[in-house]
Structure 1
Amino acid sequence: MLNKNLKEILDGNIELPTLPDVIMRLLSAVDNPESTAPDIARIIGSDQSLMAKILKLVNSPFYGMPRQISTLTQATVVMGFTAIRNIALTIAVFDEFELGAAVPEKFGYTREKLWEHSIATAITANVIAHKINYAKKEDAFIAGLIHDIGKVVFDRFCHEDFVTALTLADASGRSLFDAEVDIFGESHAFIGSWVTEKWQLPSHLVDSIRYHHTPDKGEVELKLVEIVHAANNLVHAEGYGNGGDDIVPEINGLFQKTFGFSQHDLHELKLEVKQNFESAVEFFQTVA
């Protein structure tokens, strides 16, 4: 049975943040095969703050551009439509969502720690995508970044119930996912996919959020779901940030079974994630 507060959200009685109109128009334009780089630049240019942030991020050390990118059209041509969409979406998510009241200190779960976890998951998903030659590498990054957006929804709009779920997970030694299902009747993966579907994000991104704990149920693009699931587990095991779970997953067998990774492959993956993490945190501090 659905928790009362979650039902209020699903019934539309609690107003959740929506993506700005400029982002919605950008999403539509990127999906339109007739759109051009100047079209994308004009849409973004209608929001001066968004334009400035995108140019700042594109020129950050994280992307390592060989020369300064000075215009949105140039950025769109160099980066590609999908990458620009994902940068804009990242900015919008950071701008629209704030966590609610402070979670008790003992859980180690803060907005900063959650975003560190999310950033590390994004990096890991991106590295995995490159190593297995997954075609939609930029989507692996954004899927990793927003995979836990449902936790932000729970924390902000159902805060007391979310703390109860954290408490239950901590006391019982179970996963936060399972504790949420007990308290809310659904998990952060469900509400995250519900919100992003309302935002009209591409179905394969929504699917990766919905099933990042249950990859065998993936419906749209199983490989992306597997990438996010594996990335999330590795980040938990390596201790980047804090997603609200104390359970340390076993990752060796997971990576061997899913991607055919040897112990050496997994070691190389961990090193690459570690090398990229600091620059990525600096990158996202530019957004905040």
Structure 2
Amino acid sequence: MDRLLQQVTELAVLPHVVFKVLELSGNEDYPTATMEQAITVDPGFSSRLLRVANSSYYALPRKVQSIREAITCLGFRAVRQLAMTVGVFDVFIGKNDADSLRRRAWWRHAVDTAVCCRWL
């Protein structure tokens, strides 16, 4: 599976999965299994979640190998942030028309502003 994930750089994410993750993550009373079921139907989001969980940013002591483990390690808030990022970012990728370029510039400005605000 690792070799397969390395060969595929990006998989499209289904929008309804992003909305479901946002809905579930807004209420931590939902069990992790419910969130896991919502995520596993989408290979694109699943692979991104595992990639993020195994990134050096989180520096976990061992490799995360399941969606449930990734949710548990990262928490609902981080999974929600990833869903929002993926949901918005997928709108801008791979398009080069004038509107898409303006949206990308707006997105970049928004990210830069958020980073500055967080730093302050």
Show the 5 A alignment for 1:168-179.
Answer: none
Percent identical across equivalent pairs? 29
For 2:72 and 2:27, the matched residues in 1 are separated by 16
Counterpart check, 1:124 vs 2:116: yes
Question: How far off is 1:85 after superposition?
Answer: 1.0
The equivalent position to 2:65 in structure 1, one of 67, 70, 83, is 70
The structure with the largest alpha-carbon Rg is: 1
- Post-superposition Cα deviations, 1:149-177, rounded to whole Å, max 9, x if no partner, equal xxxxxxxxxxxxxxxxxxxxxxxxxxxxx
For 2:64 and 2:114, the matched residues in 1 are separated by 24
For 1:116 and 1:61, the matched residues in 2 are separated by 23
Taking structure 1 as the reference length, the TM-score comes to 0.32
Unaligned 5+ residue runs, structure 2?
Answer: 1-13
Question: How far off is 1:50 after superposition?
Answer: 1.0
SS at match of 1:68: coil
In structure 1, the partner of 2:24 is 29
Taking structure 2 as the reference length, the TM-score comes to 0.68
Tell me how many residue pairs correspond in the alignment.
104
The change in CA–CA distance for 1:47 and 1:122 in structure 2 (over 3 A counts) is same
Question: How far off is 1:110 after superposition?
Answer: 8.1
In structure 2, the partner of 1:95 is 90
Instruction: Give the root-mean-square deviation of aligned CA atoms.
Output: 2.8
In structure 1, the partner of 2:78 is 83
Higher relative contact order (CA 8 A, sep 6+): 2
For 1:69 and 1:118, the matched residues in 2 are separated by 30
